[in-house]
Amino acid sequence: MSMLAYDGTAMLGRQLLRMRNNPGLLILTQTMPVSMLLFFGYVFGSALAMPGEAYRSFLVPGLLVATAAGGIMTGMFQAAQDTHRGVTDRFRTLPMSRAAVPLGQAAADVVVTAAGTVPFLLVGLAVGWRVEGGLLEAVGAVALLMLFRFACVWAGIFLGLLTRNEEAAGQLGGATFLLPLLSSAYIPTSGLPGWLRTVAEWNPISAVATALRDLFGNAPVPDGAAWPVAHPVAGRCCGAPCCSGCSCRWPCVSTRTGSGEGAAGTPEPDDAPGHCRAGMRHRLGRAALGYTPGAAACRGDDGRRVRSVAPGAV
Amino acid sequence: MTSTYAVLSEGLEKRFGAVRALRGLDLAVAEGTVCGVLGPNGAGKTTAVRLLTTLLRPDAGSARVAGHDLVREAAAVRRRISVTGQDTSIDGDLTGRQNLLLFGRLHRVRGPAGRTVELLDRFGLAEAADRPAATYSGGMRRRLDLAASLIRRPEVLFLDEPTTGLDPASRNLIWDAVRELTTEGTTVLLTTQYLEEADQLADDIALVDRGRVAHTGSPAQLKALVGAHAEVVVTDADALTKAAAVLDRLTGAQPSLDPERNTVGAVSKDPTLTLPLLVRTLDSAGVPLLDVSLRPPTLDDVFLRLTDTTTTATTATTTDDRERAA
């Protein structure tokens, strides 16, 4: 465990240094959500039935979640880059904790995302968004958002290790931009045709967006929605850790030789929900839910499956 | 046994789908020596390195590296080895110094800053130390890569084609570093396609062909396996054919003709062939000679003679690609 903490901190430092060495990229990615807020809020929003300020208030939590879902892309690209450039191989020959590499990457990503959330929320306040619920719940909303980001990065890292190729990861990463479009991030799902509404509501982004709107007090949980949206916080708290729990098994199976104990110190799918449960017990649904894309993709968490997926790898 | 061999493998096998990359690799590298692993493309050199550095798991066979079992004690092996692979494996977004500090930390080096400065100086990277490694030239990246492998003195250092594509200055820096390491007791396993490199550095050479060690020995021993390299220059094309026939008979090897330079050469299979005998025989056959030479074989000659390059050439690409992908 101390090995994981030590190496994880070293990897966290590595990632933060990379960002410091590349401030342009950092500024670009962090200002993107702000420009999207302005575009959607004022340009597209003017064509919607919902009045402007109400839509922007609806949009701010949605964009937060859509941005957090971008963690799939950043996680994937970074992991594919490291693998492609041989850095992952070097790490694998080092006497270090295997889980530390993705853990450090995900932790650094959450730190940066958390910092980037502040200016975004300030712009949100300027365009009419408000915290309309309690402070504790608002804090819970941000914590939930970070947990979702953390899970998305893990899922992305897993996908990146599968693709092993920067260019492929870049292409695939672009496709993740579409995920929030089929969710309640930008528009309410109640207006969608029945089957499409079901699809959109089972999109994990919808559940998180609904949870955030609920916790910030911007919009209530919609009536007649699918289970994940009807129990958004529960769905998230259970689904997200499943996602990271499954992903984190990967690095240690890539070579099963010897000290495969890398995963032992990482969060297990089952114990993480406990942390979120504390302040929000009254909002929680019952069952654990592992339907997130990450969890589905990771279920065959074995190096052998990985090889069968990556055509060039055998 | 294990105390005298830093690397000892027995019957290592690795298969990628239908391709048998290693077919029973037996390798013994004595402590404190440099072992050059030579072989044509696709012979299994890189696969062997990836197995011996715990990156791949063998399908069959066993190996001990630095006294520890490769599979059962992989963590102990990792604490004692360093690897510099074919592709540079440093982080281009970090500076040279940041790279070395990171790897120093991960290697549990106490006070890595001092060692970092020392290595940056040693490999001529002091001036570029605080530039992102992505801006380095190919040679600088390779040197930084090797420096990262030396941040903690390894018991066994694996170098997979460390000087491929480097200019002579960078190559010499790397060669010097390897020589220096062995005087300090590090064992080096080096794969290379440059026979000169093996000749310069290696105490022993393992000639790998189609997933097996075909021959082992010191460079001198391997050269003694083949006879001298005979080369004959004649006046015209007619004489060239005659000379080739004589060479064929004397050397027992297929001569190679160069009609443009009226030259024919062959690596003798008979180690007792001498220059007077060669000249006498050519002269009595009525070959108009311009020049005759008989020089000791190079490792190139050994390599071409002992590895059947005609058959491996067809499978080389696929195995090599697969090695990289895996």
> What tens digit of pLDDT does each residue of A148-164 get?
999 999 999 999 999 88
With a cut of 60, say whether residue A22 has pLDDT above it.
yes
Query: End of a domain among B183, B204, B223?
Result: B223
Q: Are residues B217 and B289 in the same domain?
A: no
Q: Please give the backbone phi and psi of residue B189, each rounded to the nearest 5 degrees, phi first.
A: -110, 120
What does the alpha-carbon distance between residue A29 and residue B79 come to, in Å, rounded to a whole number?
38
Strand partners, B62: B10
Please indicate whether, in this complex, the C-beta atoms of A91 and B85 are within 8 angstroms of each other: no
- Structural domain contains residue B87: yes
Cβ neighbours of residue B287 under 8 Å, at least 6 residues apart?
A: B232, B234, B239, B242, B243, B246
Which chain B residue has the Cα nearest residue A83? B89
Please indicate whether, in this complex, the C-beta atoms of A87 and B89 are within 8 angstroms of each other: yes
CA A208 to chain centre: 10
What does the alpha-carbon distance between residue B213 and residue B29 come to, in Å, rounded to a whole number?
13
> Which residues of B fall within a CB distance of 8 Å from A313?
325-326
Query: End of a domain among B160, B189, B223?
Result: B223
Min Cα separation A106/chain B (Å):
17
pLDDT of res. A286: 24
Which chain B residue has the Cα nearest residue A93? B78
- Structural domain contains residue B23: yes
Q: Are residues B242 and B107 in the same domain?
A: no
Cβ neighbours of residue A253 under 8 Å, at least 6 residues apart?
A: A260, A301, A302, A303
**Can you tell me whether residue A184 is helix, strand or coil?**
coil
Could you tell me the residue range of the domain that residue B282 belongs to?
Answer: 227-296
Q: Are residues B189 and B218 in the same domain?
A: yes
Among B295, B279, B244, B206, residue whose Cα is nearest residue B12: B206
Which chain A residue has the Cα nearest residue B77? A95
Which chain A residue has the Cα nearest residue B21? A314
With a cut of 80, say whether residue A92 has pLDDT above it.
yes
In single-letter form, the type of residue at position A179 comes to: L
Q: Are residues B213 and B288 in the same domain?
A: no
Residues B12 and B51 sit within 8 Å (Cβ to Cβ):
yes
Please indicate whether, in this complex, the C-beta atoms of A95 and B321 are within 8 angstroms of each other: no
Residues B27 and B39 sit within 8 Å (Cβ to Cβ):
no
Cβ neighbours of residue A224 under 8 Å, at least 6 residues apart?
A: none
- The stretch A118-123 carries a mean pLDDT of 94
Please indicate whether, in this complex, the C-beta atoms of B89 and A85 are within 8 angstroms of each other: yes
Which chain A residue has the Cα nearest residue B157? A93
What is the pLDDT of chain A when averaged over all its residues?
Answer: 75
- C-alpha pair distances (Å), A259 with each of A94, B76, B209: 11, 9, 32
Residues B234 and B262 sit within 8 Å (Cβ to Cβ):
yes
Q: Are strands B187-192 and B68-69 parallel, antiparallel or unpaired?
A: unpaired
Q: Please give the backbone phi and psi of residue B193, each rounded to the nearest 5 degrees, phi first.
A: -105, -10
Query: B-side interface with A, Cβ within 8 Å?
Result: 16-17, 53-57, 70-79, 81-83, 85, 87-95, 98, 102-103, 105-108, 132, 148, 321-322, 325-326
User: H helices then E strands: how many in chain A?
Assistant: 16, 0
Please indicate whether, in this complex, the C-beta atoms of B54 and A14 are within 8 angstroms of each other: no
What does the alpha-carbon distance between residue B160 and residue A96 come to, in Å, rounded to a whole number?
22
Task: Identify the H or E element spanning A136.
Answer: helix A135-163
pLDDT of res. A237: 61
A interface mutation test: which of B106, B135, B145 has the most A CBs within 10 A?
A: B106
Token look-up 């970090």 returns: B94
- The stretch A212-220 carries a mean pLDDT of 87
Among B271, B267, B259, residue whose Cα is nearest residue B233: B259
Which chain A residue has the Cα nearest residue B53? A93
Looking from the CA of B310 toward its CB, the CA atoms found within 13 Å total 1
> Which residues of A fall within a CB distance of 8 Å from B75?
95, 258-259
DSSP state, A228? H
Which chain A residue has the Cα nearest residue B132? A21
pLDDT of res. A234: 67
Of B56, B83, B322, the CB nearest to A90: B83
Q: Are residues B148 and B239 in the same domain?
A: no
Query: A-side interface with B, Cβ within 8 Å?
Result: 7, 10, 13-14, 17-18, 21-22, 82, 85-87, 89-96, 164, 255-259, 310, 312-314
Could you tell me the residue range of the domain that residue A165 belongs to?
Answer: 2-313
Sheet holding B60-65, edge to edge: B19-30, B5-16, B60-65, B68-69
Please indicate whether, in this complex, the C-beta atoms of A257 and B54 are within 8 angstroms of each other: yes
Most confident option among A267-281, A292-306, B92-106, B237-251: B92-106
In single-letter form, the type of residue at position B44 comes to: G
Please indicate whether, in this complex, the C-beta atoms of B57 and A256 are within 8 angstroms of each other: yes
pLDDT of res. A61: 93
What does the alpha-carbon distance between residue A179 and residue A205 come to, in Å, rounded to a whole number?
8
Please indicate whether, in this complex, the C-beta atoms of A89 and B75 are within 8 angstroms of each other: no
The total number of structural domains that make up chain B: 2
Of A85, A258, A310, the CB nearest to B54: A258
pLDDT of res. A240: 54
pLDDT of res. A192: 86
Among A3, A5, A27, residue whose Cα is nearest residue A95: A3
What does the alpha-carbon distance between residue A12 and residue B47 come to, in Å, rounded to a whole number?
32
What does the alpha-carbon distance between residue B276 and residue B269 come to, in Å, rounded to a whole number?
17
Of B88, B93, B94, the CB nearest to A86: B88
Please indicate whether, in this complex, the C-beta atoms of A94 and B87 are within 8 angstroms of each other: no
With a cut of 90, say whether residue A283 has pLDDT above it.
no
> Which residues of B fall within a CB distance of 8 Å from A89?
55, 83, 85, 89
A interface mutation test: which of B47, B54, B69, B93 has the most A CBs within 10 A?
A: B93
pLDDT of res. B300: 75
Kindly provide the residue ranges of all beta strands, DSSP E only, lying in A38-190, ordered along the sequence: none
Point out the residues of chain B with pLDDT beneath 50: 1-2, 309-326
- C-alpha pair distances (Å), B187 with each of A236, A283, B151: 53, 62, 16
With a cut of 90, say whether residue A275 has pLDDT above it.
no
Min Cα separation A5/chain B (Å):
12
pLDDT of res. A252: 38
pLDDT of res. B163: 86
Among A10, A36, A79, residue whose Cα is nearest residue A248: A79
Could you tell me the CATH number of the domain that includes residue B67? 3.40.50.300
pLDDT of res. B22: 92
Among A216, A182, A218, A215, residue whose Cα is nearest residue A201: A182
What does the alpha-carbon distance between residue A120 and residue B179 come to, in Å, rounded to a whole number?
57
The total number of structural domains that make up chain A: 1
pLDDT of res. A276: 32
- Structural domain contains residue B312: no
Among B66, B102, B45, residue whose Cα is nearest residue A87: B102
Min Cα separation A95/chain B (Å):
5
pLDDT digits (tens, 9 = 90+) for B153-207: 899 999 998 888 888 888 898 999 999 999 989 999 999 888 888 888 999 999 9
Looking from the CA of A151 toward its CB, the CA atoms found within 13 Å total 34
Q: Are residues B231 and B210 in the same domain?
A: no
What does the alpha-carbon distance between residue B63 and residue B8 come to, in Å, rounded to a whole number?
6
Residues B195 and B38 sit within 8 Å (Cβ to Cβ):
yes
Phi-psi region of B110 (alpha: psi -120 to 50; beta: other; left: phi over 0): beta
Say which residue, A313 or B107, is predicted with more confidence. Answer: B107
Min Cα separation B225/chain A (Å):
37
pLDDT digits (tens, 9 = 90+) for B245-286: 988 888 888 888 888 888 998 888 777 888 899 899 999 988
Strand partners, B266: B230
Please indicate whether, in this complex, the C-beta atoms of B89 and A21 are within 8 angstroms of each other: no
Q: What does the block give as tokens for B15? A: 């298969």
Min Cα separation B283/chain A (Å):
58
Token look-up 């990271």 returns: A244
> Which residues of A fall within a CB distance of 8 Å from B94?
14, 17-18, 21
Please indicate whether, in this complex, the C-beta atoms of B93 and A22 are within 8 angstroms of each other: yes
Poorest-pLDDT segment among A201-205, A281-285, B14-18, B171-175: A281-285
Of A10, A87, A258, the CB nearest to B91: A87
What does the alpha-carbon distance between residue B326 and residue B51 come to, in Å, rounded to a whole number?
11
Please indicate whether, in this complex, the C-beta atoms of A85 and B88 are within 8 angstroms of each other: yes
With a cut of 80, say whether residue A282 has pLDDT above it.
no
pLDDT of res. A239: 57
Interface A-B, measured as beta-carbon pairs within 8 A, has a size of 99
Q: Are residues B244 and B219 in the same domain?
A: no
